[in-house]
Amino acid sequence: MHFGNETYLWPLGLVVLGLMLAAVFSFGRDRRDLRLLGHRNLVLSPTLAILRRGLKGFLILLALGVCALGAARWQGKAIPEESGQYGLDVMIALDVSKSMLTRDVAPNRLEAAKRGLLDSLGNLDGDRVGLTAFAGEALVQVPLTLDFDALATVLEGEDVDAVEVGGTSFAKALDTCLGAFPQDEPGKEPSKRGRVIILYTDGEPTRDEGALDAVLGEAKKEGVIVVCVGVGTPKGQPIPSGQNFWGEAEYKRDSLGQVVISRLDESTLMKIAGTTNGLVISGDNPQALTHVDRILQKLDRTLITDKSAMRREELAPRAGLTAAVLLMAAAIL
């Protein structure tokens, strides 16, 4: 069973249980009195009268129980529901490489980006949003959807283990996001729906740099705008890699044993945004990470229909009708 107001179940259940105990006590007392009156020939059929009162009390208690289920919003099977809103198609590409653990933005770059994204979702009302996690490869974690609760749940669980291949590949991240957008059907007019990719990263590409120009050309051809949110600071900090035996922090080192300093590199981000008529936002503090709606407001919004929303069948009206029938039957007896 499913209920829309589960908090009502316990108090209503206690009330019904109390009424049942009172009914049992009353029935026992009436049974004693009827047998006594029947013995003195004041009631023609004590057994029939006892059965009649027992059935009447049962119907009333059953009606009250059904009313309790209705008050708790008793629900049935899940029903698909089509919803429509004017909005954009927005694919979020979140960098989950090891360098995103750097703590130049509190508590670290990845957590700060996730918090900024969660805050930004409130400004994307009506937009269909998807999520891609990337490092050395890219994986679509949430396809385009209007269900922000599901997106937020997946986003909160993202970490540097979400993608197995290390490094940072902007080419694969953008190509995967482009593939997640609905494709125009051959012979039909191209969709005028605004499409945008929001790229959250520290801007340090380490893989597939030669393939980036081709992907950017495809994005420009399809009219997809890329908003780059650079997470981190130009000064940077070391990349945490764990703790030693004494509980002291350890940091990533290069082949020469030197501590690797991860810095925000906006040069590649400027190139990506410039090619796609996008925008670069410097996310050097948690507040700046939420400022992604400036470019989104400039895009044309079209009607988006989505059939992934679900609602449950409301059984409370049926419960009310059933209770009314039971009470009528009890009154007739």
Question: Concatenated DSSP letters for 56-94?
Answer: HHHHHHHHHHHHHHHHTTEEEEEEEEEEEEEE-EEEEEE
In angstroms, the CA 245 to CA 247 distance is: 6
Same domain, 74 and 93: no
- Please report the pLDDT score of residue 191 as a whole number: 60
98-132 as b/e: b if 16+ CB within 10 A:
bbbbbbbbeebbbbbbbbbbbebbeebeebbbbbb
Give Cβ neighbours of residue 47 (< 8 Å, ≥ 6 apart): none
Report if residue 208 sits inside a domain. yes
Instruction: For residue 310, give the amino acid letter.
Output: M
Same domain, 104 and 167: yes
Report if residue 83 sits inside a domain. no
More confident residue, 208 or 1: 208
Give Cβ neighbours of residue 264 (< 8 Å, ≥ 6 apart): 104, 202, 203, 230, 231, 232, 233, 234, 236, 282, 284
Read off the pLDDT of each residue in 130-156 and give the average, rounded to a whole number: 93
In angstroms, the CA 138 to CA 171 distance is: 9
Question: In CATH, what number is assigned to the domain containing residue 250?
Answer: 3.40.50.410
- Please report the pLDDT score of residue 273 as a whole number: 92
Same domain, 322 and 273: no
Same domain, 262 and 225: yes
Read off the pLDDT of each residue in 38-49 and give the average, rounded to a whole number: 56
Residues of the domain holding 202: 89-300
In angstroms, the CA 190 to CA 222 distance is: 9
**The model's pTM:** 0.63
Top mean pLDDT of 38-52, 55-69, 71-85, 138-152 is at: 138-152
Same domain, 73 and 129: no
Report if residue 306 sits inside a domain. no
Report if residue 84 sits inside a domain. no
Read off the pLDDT of each residue in 92-98 and give the average, rounded to a whole number: 94
Same domain, 94 and 48: no
**Helices assigned H by DSSP within the chain:** 9-39, 46-71, 109-120, 148-156, 170-180, 212-221, 267-275, 293-296, 316-332
- Please report the pLDDT score of residue 323 as a whole number: 82
More confident residue, 178 or 278: 178
For the cut 70, the answer to whether the pLDDT of residue 79 exceeds it is yes
Other Cβ atoms less than 10 A from the Cβ of 216: the count is: 21
Same domain, 44 and 71: yes
Q: Which tokens go with 190?
A: 């191209």
Give Cβ neighbours of residue 141 (< 8 Å, ≥ 6 apart): 131, 132, 133, 154, 158, 162
Q: What percent of the chain has pLDDT over 90?
A: 28
Q: Which residue has the tokens 């940072």?
A: 168
- Please report the pLDDT score of residue 91 as a whole number: 95
Report if residue 202 sits inside a domain. yes
Q: Which tokens go with 296?
A: 């989104």
- Please report the pLDDT score of residue 96 as a whole number: 94
Say which range, 47-56, 154-163, 273-282, has the weakest mean pLDDT: 47-56
| Residue 292 C-alpha from the chain's centroid | 20
For the cut 90, the answer to whether the pLDDT of residue 217 exceeds it is yes
For the cut 80, the answer to whether the pLDDT of residue 148 exceeds it is yes
Report if residue 305 sits inside a domain. no
- Please report the pLDDT score of residue 47 as a whole number: 65
61 band by pLDDT with thresholds 50, 70 and 90: confident
Read off the pLDDT of each residue in 246-259 and give the average, rounded to a whole number: 80
Read off the pLDDT of each residue in 289-301 and give the average, rounded to a whole number: 66
| Residue 218 C-alpha from the chain's centroid | 31
Same domain, 277 and 323: no
Number of domains in the chain: 2
- Please report the pLDDT score of residue 100 as a whole number: 92
Report if residue 171 sits inside a domain. yes
- Please report the pLDDT score of residue 304 as a whole number: 59
For the cut 80, the answer to whether the pLDDT of residue 180 exceeds it is yes
Give Cβ neighbours of residue 155 (< 8 Å, ≥ 6 apart): 94, 114, 117, 118, 131, 142
- Please report the pLDDT score of residue 1 as a whole number: 66
Same domain, 99 and 73: no
Same domain, 44 and 168: no
Report if residue 12 sits inside a domain. yes
Q: Give the CA dihedral 151, 156, 160, 165, nearest 10 degrees.
A: -20
- Please report the pLDDT score of residue 136 as a whole number: 92
